[in-house]
Each structure stands twice: as C-alpha cells, then as structure tokens.
Amino acid sequence: MTRSWDWATGEGLLGLDNPEEWDAAFERGERSLGTAAIGLAFNCSLEDASPRLVRATQLPDTDQRGFAFTAVGTAARLNGALTPELYEVLRAAGPGRRSIAVNAVDDTLTFVPFRDLPPWLKRWAVYATVRDKLEGWWLRGEDAARRVWQAVRRG
C-alpha cells in the first residue's frame, strides 16, 4: 500500500515501513528524515533499517540527527542487537554524558546482552557502572556531612 508521507511536518512518518521510500526522500533532501528513521526502526528488519539509520545519524540538522540516534536506541530495544555499522556509529559519536548518542548507548546497554556487545562498549559499561557507583557514594557522603554540619551548628 502506497502512503503519502508529510515530510515537511513529519506527520505519519513514525509509520514508515518502506526503506526505499526513505532512500528516495533522502535523495530529494527532505526534512524529517530522522523522524522517519524511527519509523524504519519500528517497522522494518534491523538489516533493512541499519544502513538508513547510519545515514540518518550523519544528517546536518541537529534535531533530526538526534531523532536518528533515538532510532538506533529503538532498534536496540526491539531487536536486542545492533549491526556492526550501528555500533561503529555509536562509537564515533562517543558514549559520554554529553554525547548526542547517550540515550542510544544507554538503550543498547540495557537491551543488548552484555556478551553480544563489542569490546569497546563492554569497557564503557564497566567504566560507567563504576563511575556511577562512586558518584553515588560521594553524593551520599556529601549529604551526610551536610546533615552533620547542620546538626553541629544548631546544637
């Protein structure tokens, strides 16, 4: 069934289920390609969606690029895996807290079995876990010290 997609507003693009339609829109330079990439992640096989998601993560528009990384995270959630090309996109974007890919990396770490992750992402997962644990301990210690100081000042 051929559908009419509103590329200008993004209306209906979360239902996009035709990779060739995404390719044609990319060639035409349409807007909302990142939004449509989420539709591909929802409605197409990982193998069909992957090359389009990779291209979408390189879009010049920051918002649409952000949606493309949302699509990568969605693909990880739905498939419990990513393609080597998508892992490389995540690696290139960087897994840190200030990365545009931070949520996609988090989704990947949550929904892809640890044994299936590439070595660099396994190392990142261990690092992030240790960092978060230490940060939590630090914040709890800081809070306890503040409460002690307040009690001493009142007493």
Contact assessment for residue 69 and residue 97, using Cβ atoms and an 8 Å cutoff: no
d(CA 28, CA 14): 19
Q: What SS3 string covers 11-67?
A: CCHHHCCCHHHHHHHHHHCCCCHHHHHHHHHHHCCHHHHHHHHHHHCCCCCHHHHHH
d(CA 135, CA 140): 9
Average pLDDT, consecutive stretches of 10 residues, N- to C-terminus, the chain (155 residues): 76 93 95 95 97 97 96 98 98 89 96 97 91 87 89 85
DSSP 91-118: HHH-SSTTSTTHHHHHHHHHHS-GGGS-
pLDDT of residue 3: 67
d(CA 41, CA 72): 7
pLDDT of residue 15: 93
pLDDT of residue 85: 98
Q: pTM here?
A: 0.84
Tracing tokens 């240790």 back to the chain, one arrives at 130
